[in-house]
Structure 1
Amino acid sequence: MFIDLDWLRSRSDRSLEVAPEWTILIPFFNERRLLPATIASIARQSEKLRLVLIDNGSTDGSAHVARIACASFDIDPIIVTEPSPGKVAALSAGLRLVHTRFVATCDADTIYPPHYLAAAGRILRRAGHVAGGAYVVHRGSSKTHQRLKANKIAAAARLLPRQSHCGGAGQTFRTAALRAAGGFDPERWNYVLEDHEIIHRLLAHGTIGYSPDLWCMPSTRPRERESIRWTLVERIIYSIAAPIAGNWFFYRFLAARLRGRNLMSDRMRERAFHQLEGPPSAAPSQPIFAKPAPARVVLRRPGASSRPSDLIVVARGGETGRLRPASASDIARARGLRSRI
């Protein structure tokens, strides 16, 4: 693990300020396009915070972009390079630098409303609460749809209180409780679904709370994560076993199945859309806050033929992605892009 210690230069000045209650951990891998928007949303938080950015081996200049974005918002981050691949290893490296009462894990491609930490803090200050979970709001969602999502997660939490109903992009913790539960530990759990496993351990120390005000907005780009999700059978067994046999479920049943499918933590980094982010570079080729020019790239599904039905076209402008079947003209155009297929 390597740490950028530039932040120490102004430490004496910051020591005179009121210490923040929050640290935000953002692990990232090749996220130079979307990371600035996430940092911008963090800069607008109503609560004082410390920001820890964990570069998990990026090759596209993401750390350089992060420094520029933080400087533009007058944020003084701690930047960590964690060479061991995988989100669990990255979060473990970040947690070692947390010295605040509360800690939040955030994704590098997700937007957080200005009241995000304030809403989470209200949950974590409740007696017996050790974690707070956010639900997902998609761009353009109506207030009615947002209320329905909030009601849905609240109902699920009442029905199944001994399991997680949120993802790692929207989890907040009491730091002392998180450490008491063992924290993020690749020696204990180095598979996908680490957001559910950590809540399983944490619930031995208290409860997790939700609120209509606690939400986040992920990027609209294609996720392509079907291959790293758990199966319906695993979900059903989780719902049944979590209250009475959680240790058996995670460490004997689920771990063996994920290992058999090679779903280790570093599989979270294998995403086809990284082909859209451009070649490795020390810095972006255009201003990071400028809207990228629209681009069209044809991607072949793994193992597919060159038939139009086996191709998809990604028409991208800004930070959004739109998928549609490839047409004959798209296939013709793709002949000039074979190096990216």
Structure 2
Amino acid sequence: MTGPAPLGAGEVRLWVVVPAFDEAAGIAGTIAALAAQRDRDFRLVVVDNASTDGTAVEVRTACAAYGLGVSVITETRKGTGAASDTGVRHAIAHGATHVLRTDADTLPVRDWTAAGRRAFIEGADLVTGPMRARTDEVRLRPWERVVLPGVIGFCQAFGRFRPSNRSPELKGPYRMSPGCNLGVSAAAYEACGGFPRTAIEELHEDRELVNRVRRVSSRVEYRRDLVVHASVRRLRAYGLRNTLRWYLDHGHRPDVVDVREIA
């Protein structure tokens, strides 16, 4: 078996990684959004994180329907961090120079992969962008339409002042990078150690990755055109106050962490 062809100057071999746990009911929407990308020059890997439903079957069925190639691999160690790390390392081992990661319940906009590629070509080692609420799952209440953008803005501002994000050895600016909307170069990923192999309730693996990359690179960027629409089912399950507490160091400890149904 021969390896990937030598890279040309500025060439980006792009992969998209999607960790998934019990997402058979909704992952087809994410697959449809990826299939609709204007830049289809990427390879997709879905990491089935020990699902108990037909997630893997649904992924293969949806990808076949859209003519989208996919590798479905399994990570038996439960955890968003573990599944993400397995997916990124699989992509790198198979030739990826850069990886975009999203979730199995998000809808990337049509220019998402193109925006990520532009950022990587221009030298970004880690890139993130806006996360907006999905409106196709449930009808957002009027106050939620007003409050949610402000809440996200508050979290972004708060993150810049957290002591753990301001350590002297960290290079470049802190960028809040939700796991459903971030990208990383293979070189930076391997140099920094990658995602922690943790469960979602143990550690915010996306925040940890940002700071790990910042230890080896200052090229951490926020791109306004790198947009995903994220699920609001955690907000529905936890309520606004507890959702905020959850994202601020897991101050809220729900009995059921892996929310799969929306009220």
TM-score (norm 1): 0.57
User: Offset of 1:121 from its aligned partner?
Assistant: 2.1
- Select the residue among 219, 231, 241 that pairs with 2:231: 219
- Select the residue among 74, 99, 103 that pairs with 1:103: 99
Q: State the one-letter code of the partner of 2:50.
A: G
The C-alpha deviation readout for 1:234-277, integer Å capped at 9, x for no partner, is: 6xxxxxxxxxxxxxxxxxxxxxxx7xx898xxx99833x43x4x
Q: Does structure 1 residue 70 correspond to structure 2 residue 63?
A: yes
- Select the residue among 177, 194, 217 that pairs with 1:183: 194
Q: Does structure 1 residue 136 correspond to structure 2 residue 153?
A: no
TM-score (norm 2): 0.72
Secondary structure at the counterpart of residue 41 of structure 1: helix
| Bigger radius of gyration | 1
Match of 1:200 in 2: 211
Secondary structure at the counterpart of residue 47 of structure 2: strand
User: Offset of 1:212 from its aligned partner?
Assistant: 2.0
- Assess if the C-alpha contact under 8 Å between 1:40 and 1:73 holds in 2: yes
User: Offset of 1:211 from its aligned partner?
Assistant: 2.1
User: Offset of 1:105 from its aligned partner?
Assistant: 1.1
User: Offset of 1:166 from its aligned partner?
Assistant: 2.5
Q: State the one-letter code of the partner of 1:212.
A: R
Secondary structure at the counterpart of residue 213 of structure 1: coil
- Select the residue among 72, 79, 83 that pairs with 1:90: 83
Q: Distance in 2 between matches of 1:179 and 1:20?
A: 16
Q: State the one-letter code of the partner of 1:173.
A: V
What is the correspondence of 1:259-298 to structure 2 with a 5 Å cutoff?
270-271=257-258, 273-274=259-260, 276=261
The C-alpha deviation readout for 1:167-223, integer Å capped at 9, x for no partner, is: 100011112111111112428x99321100110010122232112211110124344
Match of 1:209 in 2: 221
Match of 1:124 in 2: 120
Secondary structure at the counterpart of residue 165 of structure 1: coil
- Select the residue among 20, 27, 37 that pairs with 2:29: 37
Q: State the one-letter code of the partner of 2:79.
A: G
Q: State the one-letter code of the partner of 2:226.
A: L
Match of 2:174 in 1: 163
What is the correspondence of 1:300-311 to structure 2 with a 5 Å cutoff?
none
Aligned residues: 225
Q: List alignment gaps of at least 5 residues for structure 2.
A: 141-145, 162-171
Q: Distance in 2 between matches of 1:32 and 1:95?
A: 22
The C-alpha deviation readout for 1:14-34, integer Å capped at 9, x for no partner, is: 99xx99721111011111121
Q: Distance in 2 between matches of 1:92 and 1:103?
A: 11
Secondary structure at the counterpart of residue 169 of structure 1: coil
Q: Using a 3 Å threshold, how does the CA distance of structure 1 residues 268 and 74 change in structure 2: closer, same or farther?
A: farther
Q: Does structure 1 residue 114 correspond to structure 2 residue 107?
A: no
Secondary structure at the counterpart of residue 130 of structure 2: strand
- Assess if the C-alpha contact under 8 Å between 2:83 and 2:197 holds in 1: no
Match of 2:246 in 1: 229
Relative contact order higher in (CA < 8 Å, ≥ 6 apart): 2
Match of 2:165 in 1: none
- Assess if the C-alpha contact under 8 Å between 1:157 and 1:165 holds in 2: no
Q: Distance in 1 between matches of 2:57 and 2:214?
A: 38
CA RMSD after TM alignment: 3.8
Secondary structure at the counterpart of residue 96 of structure 1: helix
Secondary structure at the counterpart of residue 58 of structure 1: coil
Q: Distance in 1 between matches of 2:117 and 2:247?
A: 31
Kindly indicate which of the two structures has a greater share of residues assigned to strand: 1
